[in-house]
Chain A
């Protein structure tokens, strides 16, 4: 059973637009959520993490977390072509046992 579900599978946004990505865990044991970005042919790099209910903003990126529903979302404003990548959501139990979703493939069109 998939522990982490992501939607949509793929997303196309125009340059300067807003991209919104969703992630939900079905495992109530998880308590930390992570967003990783993976450019084609490269390794994943952590983008943002969120552990508490609410919102966290870093530059053009904002993450939300609702711990009751185990749902997190990532929003990218003023999207750039360099943001085109596979976005992976991961859920963990503390700092152990990281489980990834299938990812959302984001394409930003100039």
Chain B
């Protein structure tokens, strides 16, 4: 089935450093999402992105977070500077209104550990 690729799968950084998480969405998808999950618990919505713009963001999407997808390349989540509470697994997802099911397809996640 359709694949969403995420790079890196795991990153360990020191608090205060910058991190960029990369996502290669399904090729014909138009909507992109980032979710945060801690310890296999709730999948918490961070942000969604359509047509080059942030459509909606949650309270978890702090000022230190930013997203972009320059010229159809990777959809990225940047955190600068990182904090201890940013340690989590970050899932990228994509969907398309053209897909008959309209479902979200998730990547395998990027596990971020902030020391």
Contact = CB atoms under 8 A, between A and B. Distances in A.
Interface residues of A, number: 26
A38 B40 contact: yes
Interface of A: 32, 34, 36, 38, 40-46, 49, 86, 88, 90, 92, 94-103
Contact of B107 (A34, A43, A100): A43
A75 B45 CA distance: 26
A100 B50 CA distance: 20
Given A42-B108, A100-B35, A95 B43 contact: no
Tell me if A's interface is mostly helix, strand, loop or mixed. Answer: strand
A101 B43 CA distance: 7
Interface of B: 31, 33, 35, 40-45, 48, 50, 55-56, 91, 93, 95-97, 99, 101-104, 106-109
B42 to A, nearest CB: 4
A15 B95 CA distance: 35
Given A43-B91, A95-B102, A96-B55, A101 B42 contact: yes
6 A-B pairs closest in CB distance: A95-B102, A100-B43, A43-B106, A102-B42, A46-B103, A95-B97
Nearest to B93: A98
B41 A103 contact: yes
B48 A97 contact: yes
Given A46-B103, A95-B31, A97-B55, 19 more contacts: A36-B104, A40-B40, A41-B40, A43-B108, A44-B104, A45-B106, A49-B103, A88-B43, A94-B97, A95-B99, A95-B102, A96-B55, A98-B93, A99-B45, A100-B42, A100-B45, A101-B42, A103-B42, A103-B43
